[in-house]
Amino acid sequence: MKRGMVCPTLKKYTMKQFLLILLVGLGLSLHGFAQDGEDQQKEGGGKLEALKIAYLTKKLDLSTEEAQRFWPVYNKYVEEIHGVRKEQKQKNLGELEAEDKILNIRKKYNSEFSRALTPEKANNFFRSEKEFGNFIRQELQQRRLNNQLNRRPLRQ
């Protein structure tokens, strides 16, 4: 290979990465604009959603084409889940009723994710989403425990 030339495989891989990052960024920005003022008040929510998207991107190992099909479906999915949670708070919807609605949304989107991705990757998405939730819960518990241990007793 001549000096100054880039390996075609490396160039293609780098372009795929660039496009994937661009699509994820675009998806995040569109999702951010779709949020109403109440959701934007929760500053940590946007950061947490960005972490979740990065986690899912890594776990699902999406090709550029898969990412183009997946992220719009994912954004609709998240919007519907948030709608149920909002309804639960506003209308004092029971926990079981809310979880039933969320389960129905997950079932509906399972087929849509399977069309955008392979059925295996669609199943991996739901598994990865659950893993991420468990990771966040554990991290919060650990931080709370560390905060309790680091508190100084009040001086008397």
Report the predicted TM-score, pTM, of the whole model to 2 decimal places.
0.65
Spans of all domains in the chain: 8-34+43-149
pLDDT in tens, 78-93: 999 999 999 999 998 8
Measure CA of the first residue to CA of the last residue in the chain; give whole Å: 76
pLDDT in tens, 108-129: 999 999 999 999 999 999 999 9
Task: Report the alpha-carbon distance of residue 50 to residue 95 in Å, rounded.
Answer: 26
pLDDT in tens, 35-70: 444 444 455 678 888 999 999 989 999 888 999 999
Task: Report the alpha-carbon distance of residue 1 to residue 131 in Å, rounded.
Answer: 44
- Longest alpha-carbon distance in the chain: 77
